[in-house]
Structure 1
Amino acid sequence: MARLKALFSKKFPIIGMIHVDPLPGTPLYSNQFEDTIKKAKHEAEIYVKGKIDAILIENMHDLPYVQSKFLGPETVACMSRIAVAVKEVIHNILPCGIQILACGNKEALAIAKACDLDFIRTEGFVFSHVADEGVTNADAGHILRYRKHIDAQHVGIITDIKKKHSSHAITNDVSLCETAKAAEFFLSDGLVLTGKATGYETDIDDIKSLKGKVNLPLILGSGVTMDNIDRYWKVADAAIVGSFFKTHGTWQNNVDEERVRSFMNKIVRLRKGIL
């Protein structure tokens, strides 16, 4: 938790998503990797101009996802190059994190170490679940040992719990609160809560149920919009915003400068107590 507090000086930080275009080696790759880099840099420029609080890079378009044991070295290499390009744009003005789908947590840590990133977002930190790409096993012990092994202690680890696009039937007898407490006990730096799928609203009652029960930041991981941020503002601690920042609010589209600007203007007003 101290790692994240050190990164974010403003109340309720907003983390903007860069959903990287399909990478080499994936089914939808367009053979235009230089264009992929340019697009990522352009979206970083939009976020800087829009006064976003942080950026999270993710290989969201690498459909269909594979589990980490099947990730090729090309994914790590290409995401590293993109991370460096984004860092050239933000010049350490903004914290920058990375997520590697699916459950490429060690890969994300390695990139964060090599590219001087500030945090990673992880899947499968505590308790196994069945995701659309297969069974995801808990790996907190492996990830934190690896972070220590590569001397990446400065890299924060925010962790999804009861994550989207997944079945949690095998842990149905473990409550959200018990899962959150387990993640805290296993040294997570922040908890990410989501709706059932990308773009779906996070259940506000889920967030409320964890307030005062854990001493970790509660981070909204999906479904945040201009219309609902007023409600979330009162109960959560931060938000990752992807779909809303895209043209027409669809995650597959490009980042829309006007949507970023208007959303962040509302955040500024909320911080000032104007709304």
Structure 2
Amino acid sequence: MSNLSAAARFANVFGRARRAAIGMIHVEALPGSPKHRLPVSAIVEKAVNEAKIYKECGLHGLLIENMHDVPYLNSEVGPEVVACMTAVCQRVKQESKMPCGIQILAGANSAALAVAKAAQMDFIRAEGFVFAHVADEGIISSCAGELMRYRKIIEGEDIMVFTDVKKKHSSHALTSDVNITETAQAAEMFLSDGVIITGSTTGLPASNEDVSTVLKSVNIPVLLGSGVTPANVLSYPSQLHGMIIGSYFKKNGCWQNDVDRERVSEFMNKIER
């Protein structure tokens, strides 16, 4: 692993230390999932086309996710998901030449690391890194110990692991006596390369107070993970390292829809100004 700090590694990968805009590619439903319809070749091409839009509009990175694979499995996915996500990620990385990450829902973090290693991705987004919580899929147990050892085993220490804290679509009653700053500090102690703060559900913004307090509490990058729009993006602290944007970039602001070039361009024009 590099001797650089997590913040310095972030800046090296994204070419900037602050407000890196990361666009979501929601891969169409994969083989084996109830909504699967398209051949794998068409799934790959659609992802590549969305990556081209993001690159042409000036985004700083991409995050590829199997969000159409509802209902999600809990922490373990089949080899068909790993194989198909590898095919998608390899092409997107090769065609875009952008910083790229992957998330495999739900909480399939070791599988995501394996794909990232094979496809030469730059980061993964991991759920359930520290402290258990109850999600739609059931109890998501903490995985930091196993995940970071697996990263070491596969010689993937150049792959950054960004971790959700008090994540969306989850109940945190099990850890109601542990606040978000304490959770973020635990993630940092357990070698997270950055923490992600979200609203309560997809498309809802994170609390500005949560973002501010976490920024003051950890020395690793802090990213927004939901609900970012042109209307609120400049209200967040300038020290914020990154923003993962999905719903706003889609037609009518709905994550299930295709990427809307006009929305992406409008957003990037605003933050670049």
What do the CA deviations read for 1:103-128 (whole angstroms, capped 9, x no partner)?
01000100111110000000000000
What is the match of residue 83 of structure 2? 77
Which structure 2 residues correspond to residues 94-109 of structure 1 after superposition, within 5 A?
A: 94-109=98-113
Work out the CA distance in 1 between the residues paired with 2:82 and 2:101: 14
1:233 is displaced (CA, Å) by 4.8
When the two structures are superposed, what TM-score results if normalisation uses the length of structure 2?
0.95
The unaligned stretches of length 5 or more in structure 2 are: 1-5
What is the match of residue 70 of structure 2? 63
What is the match of residue 179 of structure 1? 183
Q: What RMSD over aligned residues (CA atoms) do the two structures have, in Å? A: 1.0
* Matched AA of 2:75: S
* Matched AA of 1:129: H
Alignment check: 8 A CA contact 1:68 1:104 kept: yes
Q: Secondary structure at the match of 1:145?
A: helix
1:4 aligns with 2:7: no
What is the match of residue 52 of structure 1? 59
When the two structures are superposed, what TM-score results if normalisation uses the length of structure 1?
0.94
Alignment check: 8 A CA contact 2:249 2:263 kept: yes
1:181 is displaced (CA, Å) by 0.6
Alignment check: 8 A CA contact 1:122 1:158 kept: yes
Work out the CA distance in 2 between the residues paired with 1:6 and 1:42: 26
The unaligned stretches of length 5 or more in structure 1 are: 270-275
Given candidates 256, 261, 264, the residue that maps to 1:257 is 261
Q: Secondary structure at the match of 1:198?
A: coil
1:188 aligns with 2:192: yes
Q: Secondary structure at the match of 1:68?
A: coil
What is the match of residue 136 of structure 1? 140
Among all aligned residue pairs of Structure 1 and Structure 2, give the percentage whose two residues are the same amino acid: 51
* Matched AA of 2:249: F
1:36 is displaced (CA, Å) by 1.1
Which structure 2 residues correspond to residues 115-126 of structure 1 after superposition, within 5 A?
A: 115-126=119-130
Moved over 6 A (4+): none
Alignment check: 8 A CA contact 2:206 2:227 kept: yes
1:17 is displaced (CA, Å) by 0.3
Alignment coverage as a number of residue pairs: 266
* Matched AA of 2:187: A
Alignment check: 8 A CA contact 2:251 2:259 kept: yes
What is the match of residue 23 of structure 2? 16
Work out the CA distance in 1 between the residues paired with 2:268 and 2:216: 27
Q: Secondary structure at the match of 1:85?
A: helix
Alignment check: 8 A CA contact 2:75 2:140 kept: no
1:236 is displaced (CA, Å) by 2.4
